[in-house]
């Protein structure tokens, strides 16, 4: 709560990364942090990882990579949800790395993933770039491991 209330992650340009099983509240937490920052006057954007990757991939076809990267770099707070649900092509990994590298220590990125860092190589398919990406993402970050959390969905579905 102190991290949320103080907005230190915004002022210190720190990422927040939530790792955990599906349904344990990662998206809700990331969204609430993003909305809080926006309410305090920061610019922000929420995007699903699959949508971001698709947009970056389309930008290669029409040579608009710089414009698309500039758009995502312009947000003071960027929330990227559900990293790890889709596999990516090498050009997509490169563009995603470029985006994260350019935001590194300049603007906070809020990230959710259902996979632990050790599993990121399985969908990024480039061990060296995966290691470099994780290094940048975690160097100036708060990593919240929700591994022991239980999914909220079955309980909510059972209620009348």
d(CA 157, CA 160): 8
- The pLDDT score that the predictor gives to residue 10 is 97
Q: How confident is the model at residue 149 (pLDDT cuts 50, 70, 90)?
A: confident
CA distances from 157 to 23, 28, 57, 153, 160 (A): 12, 17, 37, 6, 8
User: Which residue matches tokens 């993402």?
Assistant: 137
> pLDDT tens for residues 46-100?
999 999 999 999 999 999 999 999 999 999 999 999 999 898 999 999 999 999 9
For the chain, list the domains and their CATH numbers.
21-158 (3.40.50.300)
| Greater pLDDT, 16 or 150 | 16
Q: Please report how many Cα atoms fall inside a 13 Å half-sphere around the Cα of residue 29, on the Cβ side.
A: 21
The pLDDT score that the predictor gives to residue 148 is 81
> Residues 72, 132, 85, 63: what is their CA dihedral angle, to the nearest 10 degrees?
40
- Is pTM beyond 0.95? Reply is no
As a whole number of angstroms, the distance between CA 91 and CA 129 comes to 11
């Amino acid at each position: 709560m102190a991290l949320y209330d103080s907005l230190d992650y915004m002022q210190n340009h720190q990422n927040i990364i939530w790792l955990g099983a599906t349904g344990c509240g990662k998206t809700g937490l990331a969204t609430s942090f993003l909305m809080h920052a926006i309410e305090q006057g920061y610019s922000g954007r929420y995007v699903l990882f699959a949508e971001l990757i698709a947009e970056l991939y389309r930008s290669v076809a029409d040579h608009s990579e710089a414009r698309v990267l500039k758009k995502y770099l312009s947000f003071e707070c960027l929330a990227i949800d559900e990293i790890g649900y889709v596999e990516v092509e090498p050009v997509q990994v490169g563009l995603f790395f470029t985006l994260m590298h350019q935001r590194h220590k300049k603007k906070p990125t809020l990230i959710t993933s259902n996979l632990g860092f050790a599993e990121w190589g399985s969908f990024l398919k480039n061990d060296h770039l995966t290691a470099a990406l994780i290094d940048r993402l975690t160097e100036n970050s708060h990593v919240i491991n929700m591994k022991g959390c239980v999914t909220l969905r079955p309980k909510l579905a059972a209620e009348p």
